[in-house]
Amino acid sequence: MNSPSALNWRLRVLAIGAAIAPFLGIIVRLLTPSPARIAICGLIIWLYGVGTLSFLIHQIPPPRPSLIGRVLLWTISPFIPAYLASVLLTGALTKR
């Protein structure tokens, strides 16, 4: 059986994973210059982040925050700008 401290540790690891997910664009950009592949990898990374966020929200006791609202907020606020910035900045630095 999982102890509360072990569960808290796992939740923290998942939260950190969702927080750094947009910056995986650096690795994606280093691996491929193709815009289509960058977009597909971004979608896969986004799906990982949404799944993690969904799991984390379901761990909150009721009344829970709205899942759709939180996913939309996470997508617009940190994910899209950070992913685009990491891809574009890495592309600019590798061309030098």
- pLDDT value at position 70? 87
For position 82, what pLDDT does the model report? 92
Assess if residue 91 is contained within a domain: yes
Would residue 24 count as lying in a domain? Answer: no
Number of domains the chain is built from: 1
Average the pLDDT over 43-58 and give the result. Answer: 90
User: Is 8 contained in some domain?
Assistant: no
Residue 46 lies in a domain: yes
Range of the domain at 50: 30-96
- Residue 2 is predicted with a pLDDT of 60
Instruction: Please work out, in degrees rounded to the nearest 5, the angle formed at the alpha carbon of residue 40 by the alpha carbons of 38 and 44.
Output: 115
- Is residue 93 scored above 80 in pLDDT? yes
> Is the pLDDT score of 1 beyond 60?
no
Nearest partner of 84 among 35, 16, 31, judged by Cα? 35
Is 40 part of a structural domain of the chain? yes
Residue 59 lies in a domain: yes
Q: Which of 37, 30, 31, 41 is nearest to 92 (CA)?
A: 30
In a domain, 5, yes or no: no
